[in-house]
Amino acid sequence: MNYSDNYYVRTKAYSLDSNKLNESIQCDVCIIGAGLSGISTAYYLNKANPELTIVILEKNKVGWGATGRNGGQLLHGFSSEDYSRQKHSEDEIKTLWNFTVDAVREVKKNIKELKIDCDLIEGYLLTSVTKSHDEELKRFVDQLQNQFEYKSARYLSKNQMQDYFDSPYYQSAMFDSECGQIHPLNYCLGLAKEVLKNKNCKIYEETEVLSYKQNGKIKIQLTNNFEVTADKMVLCCNAYLNNLNKELRRKIMPVKTYVSAYTDIPEKYLSAYFKRKITVGDMLFVLNYFRLDGNSNLIFGGGVSYSNIDPINLENSLKKSIQKILPGIEKFKALCTWSGHVAITANRFPHIGAISRDIFFAQGYSGHGLALTTMVGKMLAQTLTSYDSNFRLFEKIRHHNFPGFGLVDTPLLVLAMSYFKLKDYLGLK
Ligand SMILES: Cc1cc2nc3c(=O)[nH]c(=O)nc-3n(C[C@H](O)[C@H](O)[C@H](O)COP(=O)(O)OP(=O)(O)OC[C@H]3O[C@@H](n4cnc5c(N)ncnc54)[C@H](O)[C@@H]3O)c2cc1C
């Protein structure tokens, strides 16, 4: 399938030289899925050992999935910071936190070193809507500064927040100077271009994996009847995994979320809210996430569908939130609005591990994978070639199956999620 029509595809800075796979081939490592998890793994594997033959199989296009559709928010942390049900020590929790901070730094390092044209802008506000959010926010900043010794985040009262961003909807914020925004598709394509500089690395688009089996070597069956034989394999299919591995699929629930791009809002309207180009996300369960990019375009994301049924009018469904947060802006017409699937895990921590000594996987970033995928790719590459102590910490995270075996979206689940949405609506966080 070609790319969906979205702002990132319309402003793509790179095109790749890649084909369908029309023969059976062998390689050292085969990566399935060419989103940022797959491309990052290939990038770091190739860096560690340029002699390795690496093949990436992508059923659509590079960055076609969540990678090329997301909100572009480059954030540290996980989707959940609740470690209470995990068996990690204090030191291990701190290591996991540092891993996420390194993820943001690593993306920025790659952009700089490889001169990737992807509109990096630093500066992020996590905003509170209710009084209890505000209290939670203060505790969170305190935890970052004291427990994690992370000094780039600070609490802002409503007055202080207004120097960065002003909205009647938000009470206070955490400002973080390291997090920010990028054009996610261009970052992914820029990294993929780097991978393709080595003739030992190949990306095959429009090449779908049907199944695989391991009997000594790994045999990967394609839908066009050709086969890839590999020593090692990495599954990076995330929300689009379908039935390729039922055990992994049970751990994630694909959830739809929506993004609009506004490219024609006059400066005077924007400057009433945005005092600088900044990225904003709020603390609601069904959060609103938006940013003013380098070209003064507003990229506004939010909404969610657990049942996979889209609102009749996507653009209008997001406008309800825009009207509350940025009143007046809702009268403008979006250039385009699109949807994408986020892979949610039950505990909202990413699901990363090994199926056997030779088969690895990464999925379930729970809407928080733009920065993490780079660092996870680095960790997987390290684990494939030798050992990475962080990998053990991710394997230690306990993941439960979703009801309905994760293969269908059950009414029970829709009901549970509606409950959280209702709590947001009533301000009962
Ligand atoms: C609308 C939206 C907004 C988001 N906003 C943010 C944000 O602002 N900040 C943030 O941190 N995160 C955000 N996320 C999450 C983030 O985009 C993802 O966590 C991240 O992109 C995951 O990358 P990935 O490579 O693991 O998966 P994907 O990018 O989804 O890639 C998986 C790839 O696998 C391929 N594939 C699947 N099955 C097969 C097969 N059988 N054979 C071959 N190929 C296959 C798919 O075609 C796809 O290209 C958002 C996600 C969405 C959908």
Q: What is the pTM of this model?
A: 0.95
Q: How many structural domains are present in the chain?
A: 1
> Whole-angstrom Cα distance, residue 69 to residue 258?
9
What is the Å distance from ligand 1's center to 250 Cα? 17
In a domain, 188, yes or no: yes
pLDDT digits (tens, 9 = 90+) for 300-354: 999 988 777 788 898 999 999 999 999 999 999 999 999 999 999 999 999 999 9
> Whole-angstrom Cα distance, residue 204 to residue 33?
10
Spell out which residues line ligand 1, taking CB within 6 angstroms. Answer: 32-38, 57-60, 64-67, 69-73, 75, 208-209, 236-241, 244, 257, 259, 289, 301, 340-342, 365, 367-371, 373
Asked if 237 and 32 touch (Cβ cutoff 8 Å), the reply is yes
> Any idea what the CATH number is for the domain that residue 261 is in?
3.50.50.60
Tell me, what's the pLDDT at 156? Answer: 98
Q: Which residues of the chain have pLDDT under 50?
A: 406-409, 411, 425-426, 428-429
In a domain, 212, yes or no: yes
What is the Å distance from ligand 1's center to 68 Cα? 7
In a domain, 168, yes or no: yes
> Whole-angstrom Cα distance, residue 427 to residue 423?
6
Tell me, what's the pLDDT at 309? Answer: 78
What is the Å distance from ligand 1's center to 352 Cα? 15
In a domain, 363, yes or no: yes
Please report, for residues 12, 41, 80, 385, the alpha-carbon distance to residue 259 in angstroms, rounded to integers and kept in the order given: 17, 27, 22, 38
Ligand 1 atom with the smallest distance to the CA of 289 is 8
What is the Å distance from ligand 1's center to 164 Cα? 30
Q: Which domain holds residue 122?
A: 7-415
Tell me, what's the pLDDT at 250? Answer: 94
In a domain, 422, yes or no: no
Ligand 1 pocket check: which of 238, 282, 298, 376 to mutate, most ligand atoms within 8 Å of Cβ? 238
What is the Å distance from ligand 1's center to 135 Cα? 32
Collapsed DSSP state (helix, strand, coil) of residue 391: helix
DSSP letters along 399-424, please?
Answer: -PPPGGGGTS--HHHHHHHHHHHHHH
Collapsed DSSP state (helix, strand, coil) of residue 203: strand
The tokens of 18 are what? 């890649």
In a domain, 399, yes or no: yes
In a domain, 404, yes or no: yes
